[in-house]
Amino acid sequence: MNVEKVARPRPAGGTELEIWNLAATVVDPEVPVVTIEDLGVLRHVELADDGGVIVQLTPTYSGCPAIDAMRDDVVSVMTEAGYSEVRVDVVLAPAWTTDWISQSGRDKLEAYGIAPPAPRRTDGKVNLGLGIRCPRCGSLHTRQSSRFGSTACKALFVCQRCHEPFDYFKEH
Amino acid sequence: MSHTSNRSISTAVTAETIATAGVVAPESVARYAIGLGDDALILAQRLGEWIAHAPELEEDVALGNIALDQLGHARSFLTYASSAWGKTEDDLAYFRDESEFLNRQLFEQPNGDFAQTIARQLVASVYFEMLYTSLTKSTDPTLAAIAAKAVKEVSYHIDHSTQWLFRLGLGTTISRERMQRGLEAVWPFTAELFSPDPLTEGLEGIAVNPSSLRVDFDRVTQQAIADAGLTLPTTPAVRGGGRSGIHTESLGPLLAEMQVLARAHPRATW
Q: Mean pLDDT across chain A, nearest whole number? A: 91
Residue of chain A minimizing CA distance to B76: A62
Report B:169-208 residues touching A (Cβ under 8 A). none
% of chain B beyond a pLDDT of 90: 89
- How many of the other CB atoms lie within 10 Å of CB of B16? 17
Helix (H, G, I), strand (E, B) or coil at B190: coil
Scanning A8-49, the segments in alpha helix (DSSP H) are 14-23, 36-39
DSSP code per residue over A71-117: HHHHHHHHHHTT---EEEEE--SSPP-GGGS-HHHHHHHHHHTEEPP
pLDDT at position B2: 33
Check CB contact under 8 Å for B150 and A62.
yes
- For residue A122, pLDDT beyond 90: no
Give A105→chain B minimum CA distance, Å: 22
pLDDT at position A124: 63
pLDDT digits 0-9 by tens, B41-66: 999 999 999 999 999 999 999 999 99
% of chain A beyond a pLDDT of 70: 93
Q: Are A149 and B61 in contact (CB under 8 A)?
A: yes
Reported as a pLDDT band with limits 50, 70 and 90, residue B11 is: very low
Give the span between the Cα atoms of A40 and A43, in whole angstroms: 7
Q: Are B93 and B78 in contact (CB under 8 A)?
A: yes
- For residue B245, pLDDT beyond 60: yes
- For residue B38, pLDDT beyond 90: yes
Q: Are B55 and B48 in contact (CB under 8 A)?
A: no
Helix (H, G, I), strand (E, B) or coil at B27: helix
Check CB contact under 8 Å for B69 and A95.
no
Burial (CB count within 10 angstroms: exposed 0-12, middle 13-18, buried 19+), residue B36: buried
Q: Which residues of chain B are within 8 Å of residue A59 when distances are taken between CB atoms?
A: 14, 72, 149
pLDDT digits 0-9 by tens, A68-112: 999 999 999 999 999 989 999 999 999 999 999 999 999 999 999
Does residue A168 belong to the interface with chain B, where contact is any CB pair within 8 Å? no
pLDDT at position A123: 65
Helix (H) or strand (E) holding A159: strand A154-159
Question: Dmax over Cα atoms in chain A, in whole Å?
Answer: 59
- For residue B67, pLDDT beyond 60: yes
pLDDT at position B18: 52
Residues shown for chain B: 270
Question: In this complex, which of A63, A156, A172 lies closest to B152 when CB atoms are compared?
Answer: A172
Does residue B66 belong to the interface with chain A, where contact is any CB pair within 8 Å? yes
CA dihedral A134, B62, A66, B129 (to 10 degrees): 110
Cis peptide before B233 (omega within 30 of 0): no
Check CB contact under 8 Å for A59 and B10.
no
Check CB contact under 8 Å for B149 and A68.
no
The amino acid at residue B246 is I
pLDDT digits 0-9 by tens, B161-176: 999 999 999 999 999 9
Give the span between the Cα atoms of A91 and A89, in whole angstroms: 6
Reported as a pLDDT band with limits 50, 70 and 90, residue A52 is: very high
C-alpha distances in angstroms, B72 versus A12, A65, B20, B58, B251? 34, 9, 18, 21, 20
> ipTM, 2 decimals?
0.88
Helix (H, G, I), strand (E, B) or coil at A17: helix
Highest mean pLDDT among A93-102, A130-139, B118-127: B118-127
Does residue B73 belong to the interface with chain A, where contact is any CB pair within 8 Å? yes
Q: Are B78 and B41 in contact (CB under 8 A)?
A: yes
Does residue A157 belong to the interface with chain B, where contact is any CB pair within 8 Å? no
- For residue B3, pLDDT beyond 50: no
% of chain B beyond a pLDDT of 70: 92
Of B19 and A63, the structure prediction assigns the larger pLDDT to A63
pLDDT digits 0-9 by tens, A21-47: 999 999 999 999 999 999 999 999 999
Please tell me the least confidently modeled range out of A82-96, B118-132, B251-265. Answer: A82-96
Of B132 and A130, the structure prediction assigns the larger pLDDT to B132
Reported as a pLDDT band with limits 50, 70 and 90, residue A49 is: confident
